[in-house]
Amino acid sequence: MKRDKVLSLIGLATKAGRTASGEAMTESETKSGRAFLVIVASDASENTKKKFRDMCKFYRVPIYFYGDKDTLGHAMGKEFRASLAILDEGFAKGIQRELNISDQA
């Protein structure tokens, strides 16, 4: 159940126009300081994961590995997505709260 909460928050953020997805967009939003949270699909390539892990560490943006490309894409009403950035602090905090709850479960 809690898994869906994260995805529905991603969906709401997307409808509100507060997400960026795809590698290039996620990267540019992170580097520009507009990303409050980056989510990378668990089934993304190791190169993609490393790239975003390093980038997020450098720019001090929280990063989570969650779901798979199909699930993330579906949550955004798009084709599969390996990465996305949340561009709204409120949505980012809400999603992190849910992700941290599921980490502890």
| pLDDT attached to residue 101 | 82
Q: Per residue in 16-37, pLDDT tens?
A: 999 999 999 999 999 999 999 9
Q: Per residue in 59-105, pLDDT tens?
A: 999 999 999 999 999 999 999 999 999 999 999 999 999 998 866 65
Domain range for 13: 2-104
- Three-state DSSP class for residue 26: helix
Please give the DSSP secondary-structure letter assigned to residue 22: S
End-to-end CA distance of the chain: 12
Looking up residue 90, the CATH number of its domain turns out to be 3.30.1330.30
CA distances from 47 to 52, 82, 100 (A): 9, 12, 25
| pLDDT attached to residue 1 | 41
Number of domains in the chain: 1
